[in-house]
Amino acid sequence: MQKKSYTCSRVLKSNYRKDLMFFTFLQHAWLSLRRAHYFERSIGIKLIIGFVGLSMLWYIHLLARILPGFLQEFYPDSSAHELYFSVLFVLFLSDQLMRLLGQKLPRHKIAPYLHLPVPRKKLASYTLLRGWLSPFNIYLVLVSYPFLRRVIVPDYGQTVFWLTIIGLLLIAGLSHSIVIWAKSSEKRGLVIWYAGLALAAIATWLFFSEAKEASINFGLALMSGHWAAYAALATPIAGLNYLALQNLQKSYSLVITPSASKFQGSGFMGRLFARIPVYGPYWDLEWKLLTRNKRPRANVYQWPFAIFVVLAMITSAFNESTIISFYPILLMFMGSFGFYHLQYTFSWESRFFDFIAVSSIDMKTFILAKYYFYTGAALLQLILILPVVWYFQPAAVPMLFSLMLYATGPVFALLIYLGVSNSTRLDPNKKAIFNFEGTSGILFVSILLIFVSLVPVAVAGMLLPWGKKTGIYVSTAITGLAFISTHKWWLSATARKFASKKYQNLNKYREQ
Amino acid sequence: MQINISQLQKIYGQQTVLDIDQLQISKGELLGIVGNNGAGKTTLFRLVLDLIQASGGEVQLNGQSVAGSEHWKTLTGSYLDEGFLIDFMTPEEYFYFVASLIGMSKEAADEKLRFFSRFMNDEILEQKKFIRQFSTGNKQKVGIIAAMLVQPELLILDEPFNFLDPTSQILIKRMLKEENEARGTTMLISSHNLNHITEICSRIILLEKGKIIKDLTPSNDDLQEIEKYFSVNAD
């Protein structure tokens, strides 16, 4: 016993030596990950996640095998690596866009360390360094590696291949550094970043061929190991990281003296919902939940992108032969953000479900209000996109209409009904991209079921006497309408199911 | 509101955390519940509020089982912990939401809120902050006010004096007494602080390992008896 306590104190002492501080932080980060709620998932979930990960790697490998031959056939005058370099700037811009939506500022949970004798600079350096261990910095190289290996190594050898990979890592590093600097600079940096991104996108559009040429030349410079190309990437990386370090140290002071709240009152929607009888207070609650918490708010902000994607797909790639392949993807978008949000039904409220359980909230009204809210959002989305689709692709209108009915019918029914099994405590104000908080086996099953459910509906539609396409639209719309018209019945069933699982769910919602 | 508890048990695995044979709480009674950590105070409250399922027995409010009906919810106000707060609302929004659930208008809610103005000490309303941005003490105040705002027939507060400054502790005691005397509200209050409990409660029960080991009406002798119990435990 004595020996054990001696060992512990020695470890503690050595951990607090300045030079070992970094490892102590790493150790703490590992412990916080290992002991996180989402890490204690069942082995089944871990296996499913592992399977999905391995499948993705397999697809990347397959793509690397197929793509060079494909490129050779369609672009016989260009080499595969040059074609790859020609889209390097597009990749960089889309990478920036993805990071804009998804990448978090690397904030270590620093509050417990601030009162300890830990230098802030040390904390800031650690958080900055740890930020580099982001999936955003790895995926580009991971996806490109097998393809580039296949197209560069046979003709140019290993050295050239590795020089290219280092160049790609630096490109990812530059993208990372821009984002981290902008997100750590509060408003000013973000404005500069948004403006820069918008200008770059406009310039690319206006001078596409020049940008393509420059992109190829830059890629070839990296490939040939030209020092200027590496310096052009490494210099801004160093500068931006230095600035981000300063910003992070400043932000640690803000932890102690928090800035004034930016809250501006209930707003227009709050006042509007307050006037609506019965469902008004519930919609107001839903609206506030969506707009005042980081995780659902990110989803609301992505809503215009969803509308844009639908319009882009319909106006650019829609034609008679590709119609069926659009079906499952568009189903996701036509449910609007309800499709994503309802996957975590009831878990969103987990932090205050005790309140719901003891107050005079009727569970059936609560669920009905939720359903009407997201159905209304899907309808609103359809109304917004319909004039544009009508103008460019009138043939797509029946498809979108039937898919909206299907999404708000059986899809929402399934999500809300299976959502009763979402018993995970979820913090809606915590960003949760690339972690599995709130994810459950039932969620995987429900998403799978949603997409699979379209198959029998489509097959039944083909058997109808109005032709393949029309038959599919009709069968999809009829299925959707059947669920919509019976929504009170199945939502009552959901409320009853929730009541029967009430104690079990409330117990789990309370778990930290 | 009359409360009848009979044969109430809560068992987790092999461990019985609450085992109350009979407990009657009359209308207008201000019952204090004391006991060390793990004595079963919060479990009792959760069972009364039907937040956890009893392993045996039942709780009846006005003759109706809490697990079998929901009517009692409109007559009950409660605050056990932060799980009772909708933390992305402002206190005003939360109060109006709670009021709207029992059909109380905004004006009526504002009128009721005036009663709590000293307790709020200009730190709750019009702060332009969400509840999650408040200190623990002020969150506690928001929860207590929301529970009392609906003028319930039964008020349940778990450790209401925790995190509050001395002035607020005095004010909350005064408010509870006033409410109890004026409206005959039945109250269940738990606390570790014996002085607070003996000062306001008309009856005190002492819980130990889930069982009621003493049921007292506060007097100097009773207070000494409870103090003796806690000091013996500390020794």
Mutate to test the interface with A, among B51, B126, B134 (most CBs of A within 10 A): B51
For residue A226, the one-letter residue type is: H
Tokens of A172: 């990812």
For residue A401, the one-letter residue type is: F
Phi/psi at A42 (nearest 5 deg)? -70, 160
Q: Does B123 touch chain A (CB under 8 A)?
A: no
Nearest to B113 by CA among B100, B101, B124, B129: B124
ipTM exceeding 0.95, yes/no: no
Q: Where are the domains of chain B?
A: 3-84+151-234
How many Å apart are CA A357 and CA B84, to the nearest integer? 9
- Residue whose token pair is 């997100």: A183
pLDDT value for A255: 45
pLDDT value for A321: 63
Contact status, residue B219 vs residue B48, Cβ threshold 8 Å: no
Closest residue on chain B to A276 (Cα): B100
Instruction: Tally helices (H) and strands (E) across chain B.
Output: 8, 10
Contact status, residue B129 vs residue A261, Cβ threshold 8 Å: yes
For B44-88, how does the pLDDT look when each residue is reduced to its tens digit (9 = 90+)?
999 999 888 899 999 999 989 998 888 888 889 999 988 888 888
Mutate to test the interface with B, among A286, A354, A430 (most CBs of B within 10 A): A354
Chain A residues with at least one Cβ partner in B under 8 Å: 258, 260-261, 263-266, 270, 281, 284-285, 288-289, 292-293, 351-355, 357-362, 428-429, 503, 506-507, 509-510
Tell me what the mean pLDDT of segment B115-132 comes to: 89
B219 has pLDDT over 80:
no
Do the chains contact at B97 and A281, CB–CB below 8 Å?
yes
> ∠A10-A14-A15 over CA atoms, to 5°?
115
Using a CB-CB cut-off of 8 Å, the residues of chain B touching A292 are 88-89, 130
Out of B74, B84, B128, name the one closest to residue A352 (CB).
Answer: B84
Using a CB-CB cut-off of 8 Å, the residues of chain A touching B100 are 281
B28 has pLDDT over 80:
yes
CA distances to B213, B229, B231, B232 from B235, rounded to whole Å, are 19, 10, 6, 5
Using a CB-CB cut-off of 8 Å, the residues of chain A touching B142 are none
Nearest to A365 by CA among A280, A253, A456: A280
Tell me what the mean pLDDT of segment B149-174 comes to: 93
Q: Does B52 touch chain A (CB under 8 A)?
A: yes
How many Å apart are CA A292 and CA B88, to the nearest integer? 6
Number of Cβ within 10 Å of residue B36's Cβ equals: 15
pLDDT value for A367: 94
Using a CB-CB cut-off of 8 Å, the residues of chain A touching B51 are 354, 357-358, 503, 506
Using a CB-CB cut-off of 8 Å, the residues of chain A touching B86 are 285, 288, 352, 355
Strand ranges for B26-114 from DSSP E: 30-34, 56-61, 64-65, 76-79
Contact status, residue B59 vs residue B10, Cβ threshold 8 Å: no
> Taking chain A (512 residues) in consecutive chunks of 10 residues, what is each chunk's mean pLDDT?
39 47 71 63 69 80 81 82 87 85 68 62 80 85 87 89 93 92 80 85 84 91 91 94 86 49 59 82 89 83 80 70 71 83 87 88 91 93 87 84 92 89 81 56 75 85 81 91 94 91 84 60
CATH superfamily of B3-84+151-234: P-loop containing nucleotide triphosphate hydrolases (3.40.50.300)
CA neighbours closer than 13 Å in the CB half-sphere of residue A137: 17
Closest residue on chain B to A281 (Cα): B97
pLDDT value for A435: 44
pLDDT value for B68: 84
Closest residue on chain A to B81 (Cα): A354
A159 burial via Cβ count (<10 Å: 0-12, 13-18, 19+): exposed
For B134-155, how does the pLDDT look when each residue is reduced to its tens digit (9 = 90+)?
999 999 999 999 999 988 999 9
Do the chains contact at A354 and B51, CB–CB below 8 Å?
yes
Directed axis angle between helix A280-291 and helix A363-392, to 10°? 70
Alpha helices, DSSP H, located in A75-157: 80-86, 88-102, 111-114, 120-131, 135-156
Do the chains contact at B88 and A429, CB–CB below 8 Å?
yes
Nearest to A99 by CA among A171, A29, A162: A171
Tokens of B109: 């809610």
Using a CB-CB cut-off of 8 Å, the residues of chain B touching A288 are 86, 88-89, 93
Mutate to test the interface with B, among A348, A359, A512 (most CBs of B within 10 A): A359
Mapping DSSP to helix (H, G, I), strand (E, B) and coil, where does residue A339 land?
A: helix
- Residue whose token pair is 């199945």: A490
pLDDT value for B145: 96
Contact status, residue A81 vs residue A223, Cβ threshold 8 Å: yes
Contact status, residue A152 vs residue A81, Cβ threshold 8 Å: yes
- Residue whose token pair is 């031959």: A69
Looking at residue B72, the DSSP 8-state letter turns out to be G
- Residue whose token pair is 């260009």: A78
Using a CB-CB cut-off of 8 Å, the residues of chain B touching A263 are 90, 128-130
In terms of pLDDT, which residue wins out, A444 or B127? B127
pLDDT value for A6: 36
Q: Long-range CB contacts (< 8 A, 24+ apart) of A380-386?
A: A380/A336, A381/A303, A381/A306, A381/A307, A381/A334, A381/A336, A382/A334, A384/A307, A385/A307, A385/A310, A385/A311
Q: Cα dihedral sign for B153, B159, B165, B169?
A: positive
